[in-house]
Structures are given as structure tokens and as C-alpha cells.
Structure 1
Amino acid sequence: MSNLEEVLKSREEEIQKLRELLELYERVSKLGEVELLAAEQTLNAHETTANLARNELIEMRDRFKGLGQLNSERKTAILEIVNDRQAPLPSLATKFEEMGKKDDYFYSDFFRIIANLDLPESEARSLWKEVYSHAEGISKQLGRSMNFVVALLDYIYLKNRLIENPKIVDIYSFEEIILNAVIDEGTGIYNRRYFNLVLNKEITRSKRYQRDFCLFLFDLDNFKKINDTKGHSFGDDILKLVAGTLMYAFRTEDISCRVGGEEFTVILPETSKANARVAIERFRTYLRNSSKNDFGIEVTVSGGVSEYPKDGEESSRLYSISDARLYEAKSLGKDRIVYE
């Protein structure tokens, strides 16, 4: 076998791997709700969602909201290019030239959408030319037209290592997965899906290291009355205030989630009930003061607290006990937390 044949064979193997990678991301974009957790693992590659810090998730959410604000016509046009497997390279070059003339930021948006690369327009134009030349070179070696997406993957992932984890998928599905997988859109904190995931992980961790932790479950007192008298927009602002107060009052390692309409939870790792009480009372004080100052009403909460392993070693048991104590707090007149 000649050196050229060996090079071509090696290149064919790399291209096949890239095709498999591309097919994987295409399958991810079509996953249904049942497979969502598996999609989270695939899309994050080197970091699972459960291990991402709260601020990183919110930053990711904001970043993809930014993508959502891109002109929908431009997105559609770019995705058509990505998904057109049969288009010869010269026709792609013509399309790019036409779009580049119409839009001053076409090339930067192109790489931002399909490869998660933030580049100035001038650098994006240069990168496009480099990728196109790369595709032409491989096409000549193979004796047939090279698929542009495969050439793009080969160039930015294998040849130049511009990114370690390329995300070339249907951007609409990708945005939906990122935005809805673990973040509650209304408040910006974690949602019920993430709560279920991380509660089980915290039980596993605490069991391994023989540590305790507390689960705080609460809801807002008289929230329906607030919605009925002040309007749902006002109610939404109150929910956002609660979420912001949670992030301010509790530690970074404490995990706050919205698990229902006006129902929230906080997981407090390596925390006894005595210490949890201090943090919870701080939160309640901040919330009463902030709501009165900002909205002219005093928002209170009723809740219950359970402790691992004293109150139980199963997630369902811990949640059930916290929930029962929440309802006990309600029956005792609201605006209180039940610990035992």
C-alpha cells in the first residue's frame, strides 16, 4: 500500500468517526421526553448536568436565550446548509457569499449556531475560508466531493482543536433541551427534574461518607389570593423574588429548586436540623423584608424539614416527611416551619 493510500485510508477512518459523531448528535436532537436525562449526559460530554454549578447553568441558559434571539430566517437558512448532505461545495460557497452580502454578521452567527464558537465577524470569515479550502483539499484526495459538515468537524475538532466538544445539532432542539432540562424558566433556579436527580445523588454521597443533610420543603402562604387580587404578572414577580432570596440566603452548595407552582425545596448538604434552622429563618426574614420593601406586601412561607438519615434513607421517605410537616405548618396557622 502506497503512502498516499495509507493517508487516504486513515482519513477515511477519521471521516467515518466524524460521521458517527454527527449521527449521534442528530439522534440527540430527536430524543423524546422519556430520553431527556440521557440527552443531558450526551450533550454535556465532559461534565454531567448534576455536577454543573448553579451559576454555570444560568450562564448557559442565558447564552442559549441569546441564540434564541437570532433572526429566525437566518437560523433556518443556516440549518438548511448544515442539513443538506448532497450539496456540492461550489454551491455552498455561492450560498455563503450571497448570505454574507445580505448580513454583516452572517459568518459569526453561522459558527456560533453550529459549533458554539463566538468569533468576531472578520475571524469567522477567515475560518470559513480555511474550512472551505480544507474541504476542497480532502475532496481532491478522495476523488469525490467532501461533505461540508464532515469537513467542518474535521477541521475545527481534529485538525485545529478549536473546540473540545462540538455541538452540531438541530439548534432548536438543543435550545429546548438546555433551557428545559434542569432550569425553571420562570424563576431561573433548578426545576423538579433536577431536584429528583440531585436528591438521589445526595443520598448516595451522604451514605458513602456517613454525613447527614436536610431537605427543606415549603410553599408560599396565600399565593392564590395574591394572584387573584394582584394579577398573575405580580405573582410571577413574587416567585422570582423568592428564587432570588433563596440564592442570596443559602450557601452556594445548597440546592434550591422550584418543584411546583408556588412550592420550593432546598437541599442542604452536610447540615443538621439545628444549622438548617438558622439558614431557613434567615431566608424567611429576608423574604418578608424584601417583599414588603419591593412590593408592599409581606410574603410568608410554611414548610417542613426532614433530615437524612434520622428521618429516612430513601428520597421518597424524606420528601413525604417534609411534605407532611409542611401541611402541619399550614394547619397550625401558616407562616411557620415544622422540624419534628
Structure 2
Amino acid sequence: MGQKSGVSGILEMRKLLLRAGLGESTLEEQLGEGQQAYADALYLLTRMRFTPEESCGYWSEILQHMESLNLTLGRDVGLRLALCDYFMNLHPRMREPVIVEVQVLLQKERSALVDELTGLYNRRYFNDAIQREVERFKRFGHRFSLVMLDVDHFKRFNDSYGHLVGDDALQTVASVLRDTARTSDHVVRYGGEEFALILPHTDAEQALAASERLRQAMERRPVQVQKDQSVPLTISLGAATFPEDAINARDLVARSDEALYEAKRIRNSACSYAEKNREFPRAPVGLTVLFHSPEHEPEAVRVVNISFGGLLCQTPAAILPGTRVEVVLPGDYPGQSGLRVGCRSLRLERDTESGPYEIALSFEGIGEDVRRALVRLVELDQGVDG
């Protein structure tokens, strides 16, 4: 059989997954693009996480193993049996696998990822889903947005009508979000009366428009508090976009929360994040980069923070404002050569006479490849396991 390349290989993989019992809707929702599709496929079959590069190699070897088993036994052993034998005997990664009907497994997993009251995804699902979107950006440059929303004056509502009616109100909000969101969006009950939506392939302007649609939809859906009485319920929403507003998942949540806080000052409104006086979000790091400049020998320099606009560095040597330098970014693993990025020194400061210089550098004309490299660097520095 062997592994086909490119689009034909992924189509062949989908056919095998369907024959293995995975539904079309599951594949549409869970499979990524390119090599990521192989990593997603192995996760669906084993619940083990592998890198896209590892997954391509494993998938090819599993297909070869399945073909060998078919010839030896004279029958089609199927993908699942070949995969189980491969990961237990040929490339041991499983110690004590348990055989269970896939629907039973999916039902148990769903119950662990779904909020019981609203039927929306829960915080555990959210943490995994937002990291998957970050991974998609790192591989394909696909932007996405996060909308956090809160029910206005919900404590007052609960105090006035009771907690059972409060539960009905939360279910109404969940229904509005489900009805208004796209099928590709991830709708989550984040906690209490706070909800979140992860919007793939969505920029800042689109995220704000989506937030406004949600706000208006909620205005049109009053909550029934008694048999003959309904009262309006409003929501406030804050949106932030990756990577324009943050270059890791944790900061994106924080920026969306800041936008939500601004919206709640007004109530029944939608706001997008805008960092005052800054074009690019910064992330604190402890990286070391290599400097090249006409006036200095190549030098390792400590980076204090990093953004899509540039670097703030500490160095024992003075690099005067206006000086052009080339920065060599670290690779994804030790020994890997990183990208070379042109920079210009903007500011030079020194707190003490014997202390290091603090230098602000501006990137010159970076592209999407550098943006993705910067996201990976921040995650590696902060210990995020992609």
C-alpha cells in the first residue's frame, strides 16, 4: 500500500479512518492541514500526541506493517489492529492498552469536555483547542481570534429571581451562542457566567463584527423568569486576535479579558483589544541571540522581551542608535540554525556605569516566516509543549 504524498496521501488516510469507524464529522472537525493531519489522525486513534514530522514517519510505517500483516495472515487485519501491534511490539509506545468500543470512549471523553449545565465545551476543552489554533498559525500562518464574554449584572439577576432561573438564563445564553456561531467556531463555557469563543481564520475586524452579532442576538432573546414574565439579559464581549494582540495563548486570554473589562465598564457592548501606544504586543523572554554588525565581532546577547516589532536586549557593548545589525534567532532545538533578521538600533540606555547596556532594536520588514518563528521561540522559552 505505502504512503502517498500530498493531497492524495491525506485523502487515502481519510478513507482508512472512515473504514476504521471514525465519522465524517469527526474528521472534518479534528483533522488539520498538511502534516498536521497525520498527527491529528494518530491522536484520534491512540490518544497519544506526536509531532507532525514524527506522525508522517509513523503513519508510513504503520501502513507498511498493515500490508505485511495482510499478506502473512491472508486477510485484511484493519488499521486499528496494525496500529496497536506497531505501537506495542515494533515501536513500543503503549504498555497496557484497553480495548473499548469507540462510541463508549467518545461518550466518556465528551462528558469530560462538555459543561453539564449548558452542553457547551468546558475549560479543559478550551485549553486544548486554543493551543491547537496556535499550532496552526505556527505551521500555516492562519490567524484566529478569541472572544470572551460575560453576562451583565448576573449576580443581581440571581438574587432577584433565584439560582434555578439563573441556570435557565445561562442555558439561554449558551443557546444564543450556538445558534449565532459558525460551525467552525469553538463555543465554551469558561466558568460561572463567563463564556468564550475561539474563532478560526478570523482577524480583528471580523472578530469585533462577530461579537456585535452575538450581542444583538442576545438582546433579542429575553429570559423567561415566570410563566407570564420575561426579562431582557445583556452580555459584554471582549475580542483579541492572534498574533496581532498576543504571541502566545496565555497572553491572548489576558488581552481578551482586558477588552472584556473595558466593555463591562459600558455594559451591553463589544470591544476589541488595543494596547495603548504600541503597535505590537510584547512577551517577556530569557532568550539569547547572536548579533552581527560591521562595527562589532559576533556577540551573544540576552533578550529581555520580544515582539513582532523588535527586541529589547542587554549587552556589555554599546551599539549606537541608527546602527544596523543582523540578529540570528535560535532554532527550535539545540544545534539548529535559526533565521537571520535585519534590525536597526533605536535606543541605547544604561542604568549604572558598570552595568549592561539596554538596547531597543527594530525589525526591518519581517514576513510571516519570521512571525511564526517568533511565536515558536516564545513558546519554547516559556516551556509550552506544542
TM-score (norm 1): 0.49
Name the structure with the higher strand share.
Answer: 2
Q: Quick one: higher RCO (CA 8 Å, sep 6+), 1 or 2?
A: 1
TM-score (norm 2): 0.43
